[in-house]
Chain A
Amino acid sequence: AQKVTQAQTEISVVEKEDVTLDCVYETRDTTYYLFWYKQPPSGELVFLIRRNSFDEQNEISGRYSWNFQKSTSSFNFTITASQVVDSAVYFCALSEAESNDYKLSFGAGTTVTVRA
């Protein structure tokens, strides 16, 4: 069963628009961690944020913000005032603390294109 769903395959916006990426997860563990990674056109995976299941505070880092809601099993990511450099594939991932393999279960990714 898919543990992480990123329903938006592609999003295209014009520079300075805000863009929100949806992430819905599924787990039976009470302790788990959620991550967002960015994959720019150059191909590397860049870590953006880690959040554990006991910390539902929203977080803001510059133009990036994250909204974690356990009630809806969602961990959404918003880019404010998007820039061309934000064009990338963004992955949401889940790590269940009870697993022995430390596996990251990734969503399929959302491709964001920011047009000048």
Chain B
Amino acid sequence: NAGVTQTPKFQVLKTGQSMTLQCAQDMNHEYMSWYRQDPGMGLRLIHYSVGAGITDQGEVPNGYNVSRSTTEDFPLRLLSAAPSQTSVYFCASSFTRDRGFRETQYFGPGTRLLVL
């Protein structure tokens, strides 16, 4: 099991450019999510998906798009990069269970993004 993988590890963009951060998991997890980590703020949820074909917004979704065409993949798209999107991005996944239960979320290694 590779677990949760992310590519690229590091990326530099110019303001206005677009790009896609890739995330894949091989654990057959229904739930996948994207977080961004900024200094002193912990991690904040950008978008999430509870299964193929189902996505929804987290707490900081502006400027990002997601899609979930397969169980394994959950790419994050930056439509027009801005310096405020400079951050470390983490993808996570977990099983989902009945309402009232929470499984452990496992994180990928992260993508460090710098927007100039």
Contacts and interface: CB of A to CB of B under 8 A. Distances in A.
Interface of A: 4, 31-33, 35, 37, 43-45, 47, 50, 52, 91, 93, 95, 97-98, 100-104, 106-109
15 contacts: A35-B104, A44-B109, A44-B110, A45-B90, A47-B106, A91-B43, A98-B100, A101-B58, A102-B48, A102-B50, A102-B102, A102-B105, A103-B45, A104-B35, A108-B40
A29 to B, nearest CB: 10
Contacts of A100: 56
Contacts of A109: 42
Which interface class (under 10, 10 to 19, 20 to 34, 35 or more) fits B? 20 to 34
A98 B109 CA distance: 29
B2 interface: no
B42 A106 contact: yes
A33 B110 CA distance: 24
Point out which of A35, A47, A91, A103 has the most chain B C-beta atoms below 10 A from its C-beta.
A103
Interface string B40-52: 1111110010100
Nearest to A33: B102
B42 to A, nearest CB: 3
A102 B104 CA distance: 10
A107 B100 contact: no
